[in-house]
Structure 1
Amino acid sequence: MTVRARYLILHGLRWLPVGLLIPVTVLLAQERGLSLSQIGLITAVQGVVVLALELPTGGLADTIGRRPVLLLASLVNLASLALLVVADSFWAFAVVFALQGVFRALDSGPLDSWYVDAALAEDPDARFEDGLSRGGVVLGCAIGGGALLAGGLVALDPIPSVSALTAPLVAAVALQAVTVVATVALLREPPRSGTGPAGPAGTLRGVPAVIADAARLLRRSHVLTALIAVELFWAFGMMTFELLFPVRLAELVGSPGTAGTIMGPVGSVAWLASAAGAALAPVLVRRLGPAWSGVTLQAGQALAVLAMGLLTGPAGAIAAYLACYALHGAVNPVFRGLMHRQSDAGNRTTVASLASMAGLPAAAAGSVVLAAIADAAGVRTAILAGAIPLAVAALGYLAARRTPPASRD
């Protein structure tokens, strides 16, 4: 089996449980007695855990290897999903979301880094960006398909002794168990140079050095700095379609209930549109190059968000929303490919973690600022304002036009 095939299988298994959870997690928490404010609080706990562990876990993956970190991540996720099946109190859900935060931090970057390193080991001139794009296709199909499967399981209610909302969770636990086995079977990597006689303690002492090396690379590379800025503005602007669009749709159709009914299938189709965008990204990159592809796709996403705010009919707004997701799916592998070109095997996951660390607070700031604008001036105005940082993000790709990958000398 090729490296790419193993990567895509593991990538699909990683995201399919997410698709199963998205439609039901909040509803399940409410059904088991949590208020929306409590759900918001435990979601914030997850974000804090991810932010605290993002960089250390990236350094850990670059130090001890991607395989053990991904295996640990899979086991933590399995534990969190199993607990979610039976969680029935605020504190139980808090533990679930904290474990999900640990999982997300451990899982952020190692699989992509393993694939890129393995592809380059086979062929130093490998175009690993094509594999990352196919990963985007798999991601979109897995989440979209998982969401549709969750809806079907809820409708069928195959476990009469529990709530219908629990069925997708049971399926997610089973899939996650398969993921653990698949990680052991499919993910192979040579021993890291930092492991050996010094033992685990000596190996772990290398983590701060890896983090410091990535920080020095960030200071030295204007391309990497520009890409981190892209992540900041991009994550801020994402809140327009992740947070505000359902509210905008409710305004256009005149009823939150009707909007909620529409958003279920539209959300699934949006992830499939993201997969289609990721499939087309390599074609654009071969024509324009990665930097100009990033500019074009990110600017196109800003225009799609503008259309979401300006169009006054629900059909047009939904079309703009789907276009936004398609462009999001297309630009994501372009961005990740450029990030990987600025790092190497010794710090690849840590550099990816730097981008994630930038994106988390930027998304939080975007949700606060754009929600405040929506309260003060209307959702339409907030969406139009959110298009501005997306347009600014497009400019960050210009730094990568002719600059070679950064070295670590």
Structure 2
Amino acid sequence: MPRNLPLFIAFRLLFNARYYYPIFAVIQLDYGLTLPQFAILNTIWAVSIVLLEVPSGALADRIGRKRMVVIAAVLMVAEMALLAFVPLGSNSIVFWAWVLNRILSGAAEAAASGADEALAYDSIPKEERETVWPRVLSRLMHLTSITFVFVMLVGAAVYDPELVNRVLDWLGSDLVLAKETVLRFPIYLTLLHAVAAVAVTLSMREPPLETECGGEASLWSGILAAGRWIVHTPAVCGLILGALVHDSVLRLFTVTASEYYRLIGIPVAWFGVIGAVFAGLGLLVPRLAEGLVRTGTPRNNFRIVSLISLVGLAGVSLAIPLWGVVVAMSFRFAFGLLNYFTSHYLNAAVDSRHRATVLSFRGLALNLGFGILTLFYGGLLRVLRDGNPVEGGNDPAYRESLFWMPAIFVVLWIGWWYHQHRRVHEARP
């Protein structure tokens, strides 16, 4: 296996496996933010990616993918260091610190998106790509699942002050840590991941570019050429739009999942266990995805993802106490299959010269869709909260918003289906 492939997997694991994920919404609220501010921050993050996604991909195709991946790792260090050391107590200071964090995070995502995958894919000899790349994706998904089991368990455990203090007492220490101290522990651990990611990216090797590096005109002409190619290639355009429809709604629920767990009565200490179980389920996805790619068509495979997504969204809208977490497990399968199918089909359709740019267009579409939907969701929460104040930690507005998620998904899915149906008819002679 080429040297860059294990380094690509290591970078993905370090960059994506973050210890605050099992308590993503809760940690922002415990920092002193509100749910509307949480929605605003998600939008800022998505907008940052939207503005930088495609230019960074095109730049990677011109100056080298390794440089962009190194930049992504350095930005991750900056974003995590900011949260690790920001003083608490003032909503204004904390909010603007999170705003800067979301901008840096968006820039890091944009720099990595497309560049890391293009670097890895182009490191494989052309004649071996069709067989090697699916194995790389499978290995990445297996290791991601194992890593996330560890990260979810540890992240939730170190966020629980009672558990941390019990461990300290068991170790014979008289030290008692306050909640304000413990809530930063997942951030500190993720900061260590960021530092390790920098070391990994510096060890990567740049595969030779098939075109010479260009200037500003070359950069923007490459962006426009890739954009025109996507628009005029129905299969690729439909693939990206299909990924957008599924990813935006599923991710909207996922980023508020910790609030959902609170709603259905699950203690915070169990969030990490749930995240670990979800990650463990990911071990089942690669073999299933490989089999579906071999035997099914892109259309039928996306129908499977659609069905799983709709069943999951409808199930969580019921907010079944405790047992509602079982329904949410469907999202692990939906996300895993979606990411596998999108990467497999898109890389197979794109030439090396514009690979990072086209992959960045995919990232742009997904994050633009997520940002717009998050903005809509924030407005929806404000409308639903009017006359329904938060009491005792329970948010009736969030509970009611769950009913909207399957409806939003159905509307977007119908729009995607109509677009593809029309493109197919227009292409017929």
The one-letter code matched in structure 2 to 1:44 is T
Question: Are residue 98 (structure 1) and residue 103 (structure 2) matched?
Answer: yes
Name the CA distance, whole Å, in 1 between partners of 2:406 and 2:25. Answer: 28
Q: How does 1:142-181 map to 2 (within 5 A)?
A: 142-154=147-159, 155-156=163-164, 163-181=181-199
CA 1:106–1:300 in structure 2 vs 1: closer, same or farther (change >3 Å)? same
CA 1:124–1:250 in structure 2 vs 1: closer, same or farther (change >3 Å)? closer
Q: How does the TM-score come out when normalised to structure 1?
A: 0.80
Displacement, 1:319?
2.0
Aligned length: 387
For residue 231 of structure 1, the aligned residue among 235, 243, 266 is 243
Is the 8 Å Cα contact of residues 59 and 211 (structure 1) preserved in structure 2?
Answer: yes
- Three-state SS of the structure 2 residue aligned to 1:119 is coil
Displacement, 1:72?
1.0
The one-letter code matched in structure 1 to 2:192 is A
Question: Are residue 134 (structure 1) and residue 146 (structure 2) matched?
Answer: no
Structure 1: unaligned runs, 5 residues or longer: 196-201, 403-409
For residue 212 of structure 1, the aligned residue among 224, 227, 235 is 224
Is the 8 Å Cα contact of residues 250 and 309 (structure 2) preserved in structure 1?
Answer: no
Identical residues among aligned pairs (%): 18
The one-letter code matched in structure 2 to 1:238 is L
Displacement, 1:381?
3.2
Q: How does 1:28-177 map to 2 (within 5 A)?
A: 30=29, 33-88=32-87, 89-90=93-94, 91-121=96-126, 123=128, 125-154=130-159, 155-156=163-164, 163-177=181-195
Is the 8 Å Cα contact of residues 291 and 397 (structure 1) preserved in structure 2?
Answer: no
Question: Are residue 9 (structure 1) and residue 10 (structure 2) matched?
Answer: yes
Name the CA distance, whole Å, in 2 between partners of 1:238 and 1:279. Answer: 22
Question: Are residue 381 (structure 1) and residue 399 (structure 2) matched?
Answer: no
CA 1:92–1:302 in structure 2 vs 1: closer, same or farther (change >3 Å)? closer
Displacement, 1:25?
5.9
Question: Are residue 292 (structure 1) and residue 300 (structure 2) matched?
Answer: yes
Q: How does 1:177-188 map to 2 (within 5 A)?
A: 177-188=195-206
Q: Which has the higher contact order (CA 8 A, sep 6+)?
A: 2
CA 1:166–1:303 in structure 2 vs 1: closer, same or farther (change >3 Å)? closer
Is the 8 Å Cα contact of residues 64 and 203 (structure 1) preserved in structure 2?
Answer: no
Displacement, 1:128?
1.6
Name the CA distance, whole Å, in 1 between partners of 2:108 and 2:329. Answer: 29
- Three-state SS of the structure 2 residue aligned to 1:347 is helix
CA 1:305–1:397 in structure 2 vs 1: closer, same or farther (change >3 Å)? farther
Name the CA distance, whole Å, in 2 between partners of 1:380 and 1:166. Answer: 29
Structure 2: unaligned runs, 5 residues or longer: 88-92, 169-174, 385-396, 425-429
In the alignment, which residue of structure 1 is the partner of 2:388? none
CA 1:351–1:38 in structure 2 vs 1: closer, same or farther (change >3 Å)? same
Displacement, 1:189?
1.9
Is the 8 Å Cα contact of residues 274 and 327 (structure 1) preserved in structure 2?
Answer: no
Q: How does the TM-score come out when normalised to structure 2?
A: 0.77
- Three-state SS of the structure 1 residue aligned to 2:351 is coil
Name the CA distance, whole Å, in 2 between partners of 1:62 and 1:396. Answer: 34
Name the CA distance, whole Å, in 2 between partners of 1:284 and 1:24. Answer: 33
In the alignment, which residue of structure 1 is the partner of 2:328? 321
Displacement, 1:35?
4.7
Deviates more, 1:301-310 or 1:91-100: 301-310
Is the 8 Å Cα contact of residues 241 and 321 (structure 1) preserved in structure 2?
Answer: no
In the alignment, which residue of structure 2 is the partner of 1:198? none
- Three-state SS of the structure 2 residue aligned to 1:189 is coil
How large is the RMSD of aligned CA atoms in angstroms?
3.5
Name the CA distance, whole Å, in 2 between partners of 1:15 and 1:350. Answer: 21
The one-letter code matched in structure 1 to 2:220 is P
CA 1:279–1:142 in structure 2 vs 1: closer, same or farther (change >3 Å)? farther
Question: Are residue 190 (structure 1) and residue 208 (structure 2) matched?
Answer: yes
For residue 339 of structure 1, the aligned residue among 343, 346, 360 is 346
Is the 8 Å Cα contact of residues 304 and 321 (structure 1) preserved in structure 2?
Answer: yes
Is the 8 Å Cα contact of residues 120 and 126 (structure 1) preserved in structure 2?
Answer: no
Query: Could you list the per-position Cα deviations for residues 245-275 of structure 1 after superposition, in whole angstroms to 9, with x for gaps in the alignment?
Result: 6666666x4x5xx465654432332233234
Is the 8 Å Cα contact of residues 299 and 394 (structure 1) preserved in structure 2?
Answer: no
Question: Are residue 221 (structure 1) and residue 228 (structure 2) matched?
Answer: no
CA 1:352–1:396 in structure 2 vs 1: closer, same or farther (change >3 Å)? farther
- Three-state SS of the structure 2 residue aligned to 1:299 is helix
Displacement, 1:71?
0.7
In the alignment, which residue of structure 1 is the partner of 2:394? none
Displacement, 1:50?
1.3
Query: Could you list the per-position Cα deviations for residues 91-115 of structure 1 after superposition, in whole angstroms to 9, with x for gaps in the alignment?
Result: 3333222211211111112111112
CA 1:139–1:203 in structure 2 vs 1: closer, same or farther (change >3 Å)? farther
Is the 8 Å Cα contact of residues 70 and 202 (structure 2) preserved in structure 1?
Answer: yes
The one-letter code matched in structure 2 to 1:303 is V
Name the CA distance, whole Å, in 1 between partners of 2:32 and 2:252. Answer: 29
Displacement, 1:328?
1.9
Displacement, 1:394?
8.6
Query: Could you list the per-position Cα deviations for residues 294-318 of structure 1 after superposition, in whole angstroms to 9, with x for gaps in the alignment?
Result: 3323333323333434685642x32
Displacement, 1:322?
0.4
Name the CA distance, whole Å, in 1 between partners of 2:25 and 2:97. Answer: 14
Q: How does 1:235-246 map to 2 (within 5 A)?
A: 235-238=247-250, 241-242=253-254
Displacement, 1:165?
2.2
- Three-state SS of the structure 2 residue aligned to 1:348 is helix
Name the CA distance, whole Å, in 2 between partners of 1:246 and 1:70. Answer: 30
- Three-state SS of the structure 2 residue aligned to 1:186 is coil
Query: Could you list the per-position Cα deviations for residues 108-133 of structure 1 after superposition, in whole angstroms to 9, with x for gaps in the alignment?
Result: 12111112222243625435233223
